């Protein structure tokens, strides 16, 4: 008996709702389209379409490219209903996995040079991610795939851009801060102004959030019921 669908299952179901794909094409699309915010091992992605078929959410049909046989997966009506139901349920927030930040957190066990190299690595990560702007440029030039999906693709793309830019800004700030530290970073002084800024910005955000809730025409409990 197939296990219950996971977020990855529904992500693949969403791709199948766009058009039929082979498992190879699905794995490529998952990496290209969702890899920046839902990375998964390619080997696991090949099993998901079979799970969806077992659950009746997708169907598999034999197909050929020239003389080479392949299996083409498409979504079923039940799959479309399941996808729509899933979209209306509460979703989890971001989970950050950032090895360079782990090393920063334990910086006192390395050298100042180690720390600066780690920060530089974060900056290079940003540069590599920003190089993917060719995808956005392709849409501006009218060459992007599935242009009918562009309104919500831009919503996701804007978040990714701001997140990547935030890592770059942090790397620039952190490098300047660490460069001013002594060679023995264990004797560095805390940046109290930065700490005060964190608290001030958080308090300001929470005040704005409280004001939005106060002026909202939809009560929180009603929003939860609609979900």
Phi, psi (degrees; rounded to nearest 5) at 65: -115, 105
Q: What is the pTM of this model?
A: 0.84
C-alpha dist (Å) from residue 11 to 3, 14, 32, 124, 184: 16, 5, 13, 29, 48
pLDDT class for 227, splitting at 50, 70, 90? very low
- pLDDT for residue 223: 47
Average pLDDT for 12-32: 95
Least confident of 11-15, 44-48, 133-137, 203-207: 133-137
């Amino acid at each position: 008996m197939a296990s219950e669908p996971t977020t990855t299952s529904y992500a693949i179901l969403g791709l199948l709702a766009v058009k039929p794909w082979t498992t190879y094409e699905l794995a490529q699309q998952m990496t290209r389209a969702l890899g920046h915010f839902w990375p998964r091992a390619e080997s696991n992605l090949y099993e998901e379409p079979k799970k969806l078929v077992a659950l009746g959410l997708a169907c598999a049909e034999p197909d050929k490219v020239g003389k080479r046989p392949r299996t083409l997966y498409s979504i079923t009506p039940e799959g479309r209903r399941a996808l729509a139901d899933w979209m209306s349920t509460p979703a989890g927030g971001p989970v950050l996995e950032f090895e360079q930040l782990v090393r920063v957190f334990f910086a006192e066990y390395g050298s100042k040079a180690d720390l600066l190299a780690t920060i530089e690595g974060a900056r290079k990560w940003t540069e590599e991610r920003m190089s993917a702007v060719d995808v956005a440029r392709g849409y501006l030039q009218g060459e992007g795939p599935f242009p009918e999906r562009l309104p919500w693709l831009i919503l996701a793309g804007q978040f990714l851009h701001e997140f990547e830019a935030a890592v770059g800004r942090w790397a620039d700030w952190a490098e300047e801060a660490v460069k001013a530290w002594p060679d023995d970073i264990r004797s560095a002084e805390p940046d109290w102004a930065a700490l005060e800024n964190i608290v001030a910005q958080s308090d300001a955000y929470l005040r704005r959030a409280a004001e939005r809730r106060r002026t909202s025409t939809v009560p929180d409990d009603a929003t939860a019921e609609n979900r």
